[in-house]
Amino acid sequence: MSENGNGTARRGRPGYDQQGILAVAVAAFNEYGYDATSMGVLAERLGLSKSAIYHHFASKDEILDRALDQALSSLEGVFDEAGASAGTAADRLDHVLRGAVHVLVAELPSVTLLLRVRGNTDVERRALARRRAFDKRVTELVSAAQAEGTLRSDIDVRVVERLLFGMINSIVEWYRPGGREDAARLADDVIAVALDGLRVPAAARS
């Protein structure tokens, strides 16, 4: 695939570096399901021998682990951005929700894979634990915003978190890169629905 994989990632095999194999594997997992995608199927899709894949990854499980880590690290990274610790808790939540939409659009395949994980293996259970930890940080932010009076406080914070990410995560079901909405526009739309509300207050109607 790309010519500029870094030196450690590509270990001598021409054609695919680790990242390239990962991308093809994630697409196959999303299309056929993880269980139904054997290393043999992957090798065929890549036009490589199985041993060429094993040169990069010890097992199919390791490929899944790397793909899920990529999605989770990007999501967790949103909390490290400056906007996630600036302003009111509502401002910080606004930033985190927008950031999550950007990650989803930028890493649609690996986030799609993450959202389908059901906890059948150790790798999947570790990924679910990290996802729950992320959700918990969002829930804490909702709590802080309710406490400071910037978000309405008559809804259970866990229900709020679930509805917000239910909406955001559903984007993987229909979003296709290159469509009419880019990530920034989509993030604006999510904020408009979730934080500001669609309804025009009667007083503001013309």
- Alpha carbon 20 to its chain centroid, in Å, reads 19
Instruction: Decide whether 18 or 112 has the Cβ nearer to a second copy.
Output: 112
Cα–Cα distance, 112 to 51 (Å, whole number):
28
Nearest distance, CB of residue 6 and a second copy, angstroms: 37
Nearest distance, CB of residue 127 and a second copy, angstroms: 16
Tokens representing residue 110 in the block: 């690996």
Instruction: Decide whether 77 or 87 has the Cβ nearer to a second copy.
Output: 87
Residue that has been written with the tokens 């979730």 in this structure? 194
What value, to the nearest 5°, has the Cα angle with vertex 33 and ends 31 and 38?
A: 105
Nearest CA to 84 out of 134, 127, 132 is that of 134
Q: How many CB atoms lie within 10 A of CB 1?
A: 13
Check if the beta carbon of residue 71 is closer than 8 Å to that of residue 65: no
Check if the beta carbon of residue 21 is closer than 8 Å to that of residue 44: no
Instruction: Decide whether 22 or 111 has the Cβ nearer to a second copy.
Output: 111
Judged by the rule CB under 8 A, the positions of this chain that interact with a second copy are 90, 149-152, 154-156, 159-160, 162-171, 173-174, 180-181, 186, 189-190, 192-200, 205-206
Instruction: Decide whether 21 or 160 has the Cβ nearer to a second copy.
Output: 160
Instruction: Decide whether 62 or 148 has the Cβ nearer to a second copy.
Output: 148
DSSP string spanning 158-180? Answer: HHHHHHHHHHHHGGGGT--TTSS
